[in-house]
Structure 1
């Protein structure tokens, strides 16, 4: 009797989730979702575990969110995996974080290929260990022809450094006569950024209760909808992701203007 009751409840929950997914898909889905995955260390500390245990648990959540985003029809999922400032952390933690991409991608790559997901990366890869670069390069190569979700890892990425480098390269091109300074506009500048092949994020999610951007895609987030939660990243679930998307769908995006129905009010 207990097993039958449990199976019934599970079946009912799956039906409810399916109905919810159907309803969400009837509304505009954010093309590009970016996530600042924060709270791994605090999650581990609450459980008297080493910080690296939180990072390991967080990788499991990455797998779940990737599959869910792909099912929803999100076209790009950018994950802030390691910032240019994270090198300041203890060496043993940094060393572990550098090994995670290899561990994660090796185990998840067959599923990514099956799910038609394309792996991408933005950041200063030359500063990464050879094994880390190799794991990312392998995943990018083996998923290059996939046409589904773009899973974009921001690895050794910092937005200020990105913009400074863009300005330097743009200045060089102006001096060499390749760019007319009078014709520089937002599109021109964007073409010098690491995200030049991606649309700006529609939705940014940050976990752990912190209410800041932390040097992440400062130019690209100009009109992005921001969604913050106190949930620590290892505890972030499909339910939370769907809640963020539903909240996004309830908002009115004006991009600095107003809608026609608001004129005269």
Structure 2
């Protein structure tokens, strides 16, 4: 299978909680299984030669979930990075965080910042975790920053364009994703990368994320590539 892989791929990792419930487990156990699947997808992305992988780990809407589930999701990055960071360093993986981390619990925020700092000089795949991220919030905070710059006469209003606004988005250092995959059966974007997805290929899979693996990822890329070949 000859694959033309995207430079930047993003995944909405949906279905963890439902995966757990269908197996008589808790939603939190489903999230743990999702974390295990996440590492497999990172490995597969490295193997395929993808340069940037964005993973929708926690949305700004997820705060409305039950308190015990939210608490677990805040603790999960601490356990995940403490265990996996040495391996990420060996494999030259660079960690990036997209989202409003200022609102996170201190222990969660600390481990995310430390992971970014420790891997900042790595030159392999960029794994960008969207954590406490919302697309509308992303655009809003960028607009607010631009207004502040204009009011303080650091920017002339006539120079405000798309390229300038993008400089103030959470993803300012990353190109837009060519492919966005959503697992779990839902066919919606759920406030994810609203500005950045304007030209992205969207692929919706019925597979719950804990069951999503490298072979399925290759199939998704092949399917999208084949669709474009037929269209041409």
TM-score normalized by the length of structure 2: 0.95
Q: Of the candidates 233, 236, 240, which is equivalent to residue 212 of structure 2?
A: 236
Quick check: 1:97 aligned with 2:73?
yes
- The residue that corresponds to 1:73 in the other structure is 49
Whether 1:88 aligns to 2:64 is: yes
2:153 to 172, 177, 193: 177
Greater RCO (Cα-Cα under 8 Å, separation 6 or more): 2
- Is residue 20 of structure 2 the alignment partner of residue 47 of structure 1? no
Question: Which residue in the other structure is 1:31 paired with?
Answer: 7
Extract unaligned runs of 5+ from structure 1.
1-19, 254-258
Report the equivalent of 2:166: 190
The aligned runs of 1:216-231 (5 Å cut-off) are 216-231=192-207
Alignment of 1:110-129 (within 5 A): 110-129=86-105
TM-score by length of 1: 0.84
Ranges in structure 2 where 5+ consecutive residues have no aligned partner: none
State the Cα distance separating 1:177 from its structure 2 match. 1.8
Is 1:206 aligned to 2:182, yes or no? yes
SS at match of 1:85: helix
Partners of 1:250 and 1:117 in 2: CA distance? 30
Partner deviation per Cα, 1:33-75 (whole Å, 9 max, x = no partner):
0000000111011111111010000000110011111121111
1:165 aligns with 2:141: yes
Aligned to 1:151: 127
Query: Counterpart in 2 of 1:245?
Result: 221
Distance in 1, Cα, partners of 2:213 & 2:152: 51
SS at match of 2:109: helix
Instruction: Determine if the alignment matches structure 1 residue 106 to structure 2 residue 51.
Output: no
Runs of 4 or more off by more than 3 Å in structure 1? none
Tell me, what secondary structure is at the counterpart of 2:97?
Answer: strand
Match of 1:17 in 2: none
CA RMSD of aligned residues (A): 1.5
Q: Which residue of 2 aligns with 1:5?
A: none
Report the count of equivalent residues: 231
Which structure has the greater CA radius of gyration? 1
Between the aligned partners of 2:18 and 2:203, the Cα distance in structure 1 is 20
Is the 1:227–1:244 contact (alpha carbons within 8 Å) kept by the matching residues of 2? Answer: yes
Partner SS for 1:121? strand
Q: Distance in 2 between matches of 1:94 and 1:71?
A: 32
